[in-house]
Amino acid sequence: MTETALITMFGDALVSSSDGNAKDALEGVVLERRNIPFLSLEGNRLVNAPRSIGIVALRPYVYRLHDAQGRVYSHAPDGTRDDVMERASWSELSCLNLRRFPEIAPSAGDFAPIPRLLHFICNDPATLDPAFVTNIAQVTALNPGWTVHVWDEASRFQFISDHYGWDVLKIYLMIGGEYGAAKADFFRYLLIYRLGGVYLDLKSSMSRPLEAILRPDDQYLISQWNMSGSGRHAGWGLGASIAHVKGGEYQQWFLIARPAHPYLRRVIQLVMTKILTYRPDVHGVGAVTTFNITGPHAYTKAIHAVREDFAHRVCDAETDGLIYASIENHRERSGSTYREARTPLVTGNESCLC
């Protein structure tokens, strides 16, 4: 086990390729596995790398790999080598101090039913826009027998502290004040991984009860935009960081899962890696950066590589009765500013970099 790991801008930890025919190749993995020899640094020395791979320090916390021919060893969104080099920043690596990386409880592979828990997230229920209050009440009335939780900022702090500890709470608190959406992203993964159930955005609803949507053997539901062919969200869910995913992003305005599903452990590990290695000069700020660091692109990237390894059901959220937005002008009503934000998404992560 090395003390550090070299991380691409997409959140992949680099390892020597497992492909016996590619002796000098590297591949990217999510930091869910801690028992493999990551590409690492000991001082200025590169370890666990093929002999043909060399490293150059560009500036503090930023590195670049070169192959035997002196070419920059760049990485594509799926963790493989990117010979096209359309974006030079894809070749820039951060070195993460693994001693500062929290342990997350192991996932469970056995079947468990989805608990009848329905979750919403807001900052303060006392100041919540009436349209969102009405929406929560309507969803609650449609689902008798379900326990409804509305998680405000204080209860989120307490939940993370109780179930994950200070190390994870500290990462949550690194997310900047303009990025309430990013905090909500990270928290929903932590919440559903621990408790299971159904998470819905405040703007989202359903046209029929969850009991009519769920099946007895459901463990995890996955949906992509425009699966129904209605064209209502044409062109949504696409982006460079998930260009390798046919059909674009997996929707995470809702999460439906049993507790301790392996997908969400992997999502949590990737999001923590991205937060701890975030640099505004490479990753940027604003909406697309939020999608990539904590949001649906990170969520999709984490799940897609192992999608067929674990139990799930592909559904069409629109056809099945889940409604993305039942409230007009929901962005203005929410007061969210992350789309226009120009401040860094993450601050205070320098102590985790080497």
Domain count, the chain: 2
Convert the pLDDT of each residue in 268-302 to its tens digit: 999 999 999 999 988 999 999 999 999 999 999 99
DSSP state of 294: T
**In-domain check, residue 107:** no
Asked whether residue 182 is assigned to any structural domain, the reply reads: yes
pLDDT of residue 21: 57
What's 317's domain CATH number? 3.90.550
- Residues contacting residue 316 through CB under 8 Å, at least 6 positions apart: 223, 227, 228
Residue 23: its pLDDT value, please? Answer: 62
Look at residues 48, 72, 100 and tell me which one is the last residue of a structural domain. 100
State the pLDDT at residue 229.
Answer: 76
Q: Say if residue 205 is in the same domain as residue 325.
A: yes
CA dihedral 171, 176, 181, 187 (to 10 degrees): 20
Assigned domain for 276 exists: yes
According to the model, what pLDDT value does residue 335 have?
64
How confident is the model at residue 247, as a pLDDT? 93
CATH number, position 58: 2.80.10
Verify that 66 and 127 share a domain, yes or no: no
Please tell me whether residues 30 and 133 are part of one structural domain: no
**Low-confidence residues in the chain, pLDDT < 70:** 1, 18-23, 88, 332-335
Shared domain check, 292 and 144: yes
| Res 1: pLDDT | 56
What pLDDT does residue 20 have?
54
What pLDDT does 79 receive? 83
Residue that terminates a domain, selected from 54, 71, 100: 100
3-state secondary structure 115-145: CCEEEEECCCHHHCCHHHHHHHHHHHHHCCC
Claim to verify: residue 127 and residue 268 sit in the same structural domain:
yes
Please tell me whether residues 215 and 85 are part of one structural domain. Answer: no
Cα→Cα distances 200→43, 119, 282, Å: 46, 6, 31
One domain for residues 211 and 308 = yes
| 274 and 166, same domain (yes or no) | yes
Confidence at residue 164, expressed as pLDDT on a 0 to 100 scale: 98
How big is the chain by its Cα radius of gyration, in Å?
A: 21
Amino acid 102: pLDDT: 94
Q: Are residues 49 and 170 in the same domain?
A: no
Decide if 298 is inside a domain.
Answer: yes
* Last residue of one domain, picked from the residues 56, 75, 100: 100
Based on the fold, state whether residues 93 and 122 are members of the same structural domain: no
For the chain, the distance separating the N- and C-terminal CA atoms, rounded to the nearest angstrom, is 16
In a domain, 155, yes or no: yes
Residue 252's domain spans which residues? 117-346
Residue 43 in domain: yes
CB 273 within 8 A of CB 346: no
Give a yes or no: residue 205 inside a domain: yes
Cβ pair 8, 282 in contact under 8 A: no
pLDDT at 4: 94
Task: Looking at the structure, tell me whether residues 338 and 285 fall in a common domain.
Answer: yes
User: Does residue 42 lie within any of the structural domains?
Assistant: yes
226 shares a domain with 143: yes
